[in-house]
């Protein structure tokens, strides 16, 4: 007879008729925690495939798709780690308190184990595909671990790190299908990524009523003007990199 998974064993040990329902709840919490809706960001991996006009090359389409899967695993590993690190803060947040890890629905041990498994799977898969792709995933994971631990508290630097994540995806896509990433594609990606990153960060900064205790410099009033200028420059540069310096 096949043995139950560790999660099932732990929940069934609690007893009661609702144990099976708890297993389902934890499984759903795990799915929410890996944030599959955010995998759309990994679509940047397909940009080199599109702009190199290789969509009809089935071999390259498969290679890009495998790189996409690798980054989905790597990104989910980072999301889990971030939620583990932020769980105490999230418990006191009106919206984030319902996150599976913060609410206690998904045990930290389960989340940590899954995060490690996904990170290892992403690395192994990337190195099997191509060594340069594996090194790219290593850089992506190290950067995001540093971001989760400390760098996200530094104003503006956090924007560049989020934006860099999109650029890394484009590089990974180019490596996977063995085509060079053109300077035009990289320039547009960088500024489009800055535009998206500032848009996401501005919602967090300007929607907050109090600066984070760990970093009082993140006061919304101090960052509003800076954010608007940065947002406009990134938006303009995403359309035409040559006009960004013209925006004050």
Reading the block at residue 143, the tokens are 């950067």
Asked if residue 159 lies in contact with residue 198, where contact means CB atoms within 8 angstroms, the answer is: yes
Residue 219, pLDDT > 60, answer no
User: Cα(155)–Cα(234) distance, rounded to whole angstroms?
Assistant: 16
pLDDT tens per residue across span 35-77:
999 999 999 999 999 998 899 999 999 999 999 999 999 999 9
Per-residue pLDDT at 94: 79
- The rounded distance, in Å, linking the Cα atoms of 104 and 107 is 6
Q: How far apart are CA 108 and CA 62, in angstroms?
A: 35
Cα–Cα distance between 158 and 147 in angstroms, integer? 7
Distance CA(243)–CA(31), nearest Å, equals 43
* CA torsion angle 45 46 47 49 (round to 10): 130
Given a cut of 70, whether residue 100 has pLDDT beyond it is yes
Alpha helices, DSSP H, located in the chain: 6-13, 19-33, 47-51, 58-85, 87-90, 100-103, 108-129, 131-149, 157-177, 183-207, 220-239
Q: Are 70 and 137 a contacting pair, CB within 8 Å?
A: yes
Query: What pTM value is reported for the model?
Result: 0.77
**Contact by Cβ (8 Å): 206, 227:** yes
Give the pLDDT score at 238.
52
Give the mean pLDDT of 160-188: 89
**And the tokens for 19?**
């144990």
Residue 193's pLDDT is what?
81
Mean pLDDT lowest among 13-22, 209-218, 231-240:
209-218
Q: Which residue has the higher pLDDT, 121 or 3?
A: 121
The average confidence (pLDDT) of the chain is 79
- Residue found under tokens 């583990």: 84
What is the mean predicted confidence (pLDDT) over 200-207?
Answer: 58
- Which of 124-138, 152-166, 208-222 has the weakest average pLDDT? 208-222
Answer whether residue 83 shows pLDDT above 60.
Answer: yes
Of the chain, the percentage scoring pLDDT greater than 70 comes to 71
**CA dist., res. 169 & res. 120, Å (int):** 18
- pLDDT recorded at residue 140: 97
| Tokens encoding 183 | 């300077």
Give just the sign of the alpha carbon dihedral 242, 245, 246, 248. Answer: positive
């Amino acid at each position: 007879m096949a043995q139950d998974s560790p999660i099932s064993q732990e929940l069934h040990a609690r007893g009661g008729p609702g144990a099976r329902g708890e297993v389902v709840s934890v499984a759903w919490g795990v799915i929410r925690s890996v944030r599959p809706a955010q995998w759309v960001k990994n679509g940047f991996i397909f940009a080199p495939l599109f702009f190199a006009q290789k969509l009809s090359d089935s071999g390259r389409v498969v290679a890009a798709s495998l790189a996409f899967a690798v980054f989905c695993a790597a990104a989910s590993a980072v999301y889990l780690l971030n939620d583990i690190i932020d769980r105490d803060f999230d418990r006191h947040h009106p919206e984030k308190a319902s996150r599976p890890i913060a609410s206690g629905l998904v045990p930290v041990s389960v989340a940590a184990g899954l995060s490690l498994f996904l990170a290892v799977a992403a690395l192994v898969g990337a190195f099997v595909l191509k060594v340069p792709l594996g090194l790219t995933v290593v850089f992506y994971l190290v950067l995001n671990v540093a971001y989760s631990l400390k760098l996200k508290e530094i104003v503006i630097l956090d924007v560049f790190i989020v934006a860099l994540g999109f650029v890394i995806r484009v590089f990974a896509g180019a490596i996977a299908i063995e085509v060079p990433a053109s300077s035009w594609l990289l320039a547009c990606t960088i500024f489009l990524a800055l535009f998206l990153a500032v848009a996401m960060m501005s919602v967090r900064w300007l929607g907050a009523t109090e600066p984070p205790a760990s970093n009082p410099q993140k006061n919304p009033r101090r960052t509003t003007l800076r954010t608007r200028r940065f947002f406009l420059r990134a938006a303009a540069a995403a359309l035409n990199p040559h006009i960004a310096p013209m925006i004050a």
